[in-house]
């Protein structure tokens, strides 16, 4: 460094130099982000989220249950980097990234991280974007419908604990189907008053006809596989099949989010057997969606997770939980329908998955996230 250069640098405060350095780093990083301006348009888009599902959850499930996984037959496999603005993420911030293309604060549901935006602007979620393009929409989860993941695809609020508010927003969301475990925060009268048929078991589910709006409030363990589920309850795979069947009647196509919520729940409690059963049930649902996409030819499927839970590691020749909380481990990302987003082995940031799905919905989508002014 020359004497003059050294003199100039000594006058610049450290923080400024650090900011300039980070700007260069981010510019370089943006160069490796996938280009998504010439991408293929899909009629139907399905995102399937295994909540808490890391790479080792798949290995553990395969080893302990002696199964192979349909998701691993998908042609493209990469990874998603899930950390939130500050640290390892929760399901709210993780799903906000996947639903809105925005990295937000822990507990934030479909909101920007900056307080100034939270009071006047919110990011549009993929469900709302699909609705604006005339597509049918659906949300299916083994969780309560006010859980963080379904909430981020159907509501906006600064804290995932505002469950009454999330349920109230869902009741007027006009999303064609919202199917989940029964929620004590959902006012069934209000849901029905907004034109929804409420179903609580498999028989009622199967009686639903296309073109009707429905709210599933199932009373049993819909996270289970067909071997252990109660006979009057649908599996996640059956819910997926029925949801696609109903939404596919729309000639403008559909957007569908499916969540296997219990992979996370049983990872928090370190219950290996239940966790691997939840992985298998989720994978059965993936198989159902893949079978449809292969026949349909106009469907994009993304399978991923919002974050890893349980810090599963190989110990000897067994996969074991090492914590009861979330970790910062990257999570698997599978793509069916195109190799334009990622190629095998590539990593993306979680929010780029939402950006990619948004752009895949149609030429008219020029940017994502989309800021929406909040009406009072
Ligand atoms: Zn969790």
Q: Cβ-count burial of 250 within 10 angstroms (0-12 exposed, 13-18 middle, 19+ buried)?
A: middle
Q: Rounded to an integer, what distance in angstroms lies between the CA atom of residue 229 and that of residue 216?
A: 17
Q: How far is the CA of 266 from the centre of ligand 1 (A)?
A: 9
Q: How far is the CA of 167 from the centre of ligand 1 (A)?
A: 20
**pLDDT (mean) for 162-169:** 97
Q: 244 to each of 41, 46, 207, 250, how far by Cα in Å?
A: 19, 9, 15, 10
**Global pTM value:** 0.89
pLDDT tens digits, one per residue of 178-220? 999 999 999 999 999 999 999 999 999 999 999 999 999 999 9
**pLDDT (mean) for 26-32:** 43
Mean pLDDT for the chain? 90
Q: How far is the CA of 3 from the centre of ligand 1 (A)?
A: 54
Q: How far is the CA of 304 from the centre of ligand 1 (A)?
A: 15
Q: How far is the CA of 268 from the centre of ligand 1 (A)?
A: 7
Angle between helices 91-100 and 350-360 (to 10 degrees): 30
With b for 16 or more beta-carbon neighbours within 10 A and e for fewer, the 268-305 pattern comes to: bebbbebbbbbbbbbbbbbbbbbebbeeeeebbbbbbb
Non-local (6+) Cβ contacts of 92 within 8 A are 104, 106, 107, 108, 109, 148, 151, 152, 160
**pLDDT (mean) for 262-268:** 98
Q: How far is the CA of 91 from the centre of ligand 1 (A)?
A: 6
Work out whether strand 196-199 and strand 313-315 pair parallel, antiparallel, or are unpaired.
unpaired
Confidence of residue 88 (pLDDT cuts 50, 70, 90): low
pLDDT at 260 over 70: yes
Domains in the chain with CATH codes = 44-373 (3.40.720.10)
Q: How far is the CA of 52 from the centre of ligand 1 (A)?
A: 6
**What tokens does 160 get?**
């995932």
Q: How far is the CA of 129 from the centre of ligand 1 (A)?
A: 27
Q: How far is the CA of 265 from the centre of ligand 1 (A)?
A: 6
pLDDT tens digits, one per residue of 278-336? 999 999 999 999 999 999 999 999 999 999 999 999 999 999 999 999 999 999 999 99
pLDDT at 17 over 90: no
Q: How far is the CA of 339 from the centre of ligand 1 (A)?
A: 30
**pLDDT (mean) for 86-108:** 86
Higher pLDDT, 84 or 12: 84
């Amino acid at each position: 460094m020359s004497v003059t250069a050294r003199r100039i640098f000594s006058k610049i405060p450290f923080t400024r130099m650090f900011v300039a350095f980070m700007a260069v780093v981010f510019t370089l990083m943006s160069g490796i982000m996938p280009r998504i301006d010439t991408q293929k348009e899909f009629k139907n888009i399905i995102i399937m989220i295994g909540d808490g599902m890391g790479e080792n959850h798949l290995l553990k499930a395969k080893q302990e249950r002696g199964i192979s996984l349909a998701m691993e037959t998908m042609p493209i496999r990469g990874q998603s980097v899930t950390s939130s603005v500050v640290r390892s993420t929760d399901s709210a911030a993780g799903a906000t990234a996947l639903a809105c293309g925005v990295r937000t604060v822990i507990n934030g549901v479909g909101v920007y991280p900056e307080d100034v935006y939270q009071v006047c602007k919110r990011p549009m979620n993929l469900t709302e974007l699909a609705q604006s393009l005339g597509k049918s929409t659906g949300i299916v989860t083994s969780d309560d419908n006010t859980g963080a993941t379904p909430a981020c695809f159907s509501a906006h609020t600064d804290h995932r604990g505002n469950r009454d508010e999330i349920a109230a927003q869902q009741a007027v969301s006009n999303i064609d189907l919202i199917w989940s475990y029964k929620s004590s925060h959902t006012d069934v009268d209000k849901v029905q008053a907004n034109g929804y048929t409420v179903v609580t078991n498999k028989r009622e589910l199967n009686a639903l006809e296309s073109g009707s709006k429905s709210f599933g409030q199932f009373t049993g363990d819909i996270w289970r596989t067909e071997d252990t589920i109660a006979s009057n309850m649908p599996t996640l795979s059956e819910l997926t099949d029925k949801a696609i069947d109903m939404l596919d009647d729309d000639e403008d196509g559909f957007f569908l989010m499916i969540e296997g919520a219990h992979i996370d729940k049983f990872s928090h409690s370190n219950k290996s057997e239940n966790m691997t059963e939840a992985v298998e049930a989720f994978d059965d649902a993936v198989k159902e969606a893949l079978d449809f996409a292969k026949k349909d030819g106009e469907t994009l499927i993304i399978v991923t997770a919002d974050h890893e839970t349980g810090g599963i590691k190989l110990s000897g020749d067994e996969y074991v939980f090492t914590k009861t909380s979330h970790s910062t481990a990257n999570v698997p990302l599978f793509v069916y329908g195109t190799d334009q987003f990622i190629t095998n082995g590539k990593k993306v940031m979680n929010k780029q998955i939402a950006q990619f799905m948004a752009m895949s919905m149609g030429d008219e989508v020029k940017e994502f996230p989309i800021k929406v002014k909040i009406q009072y």
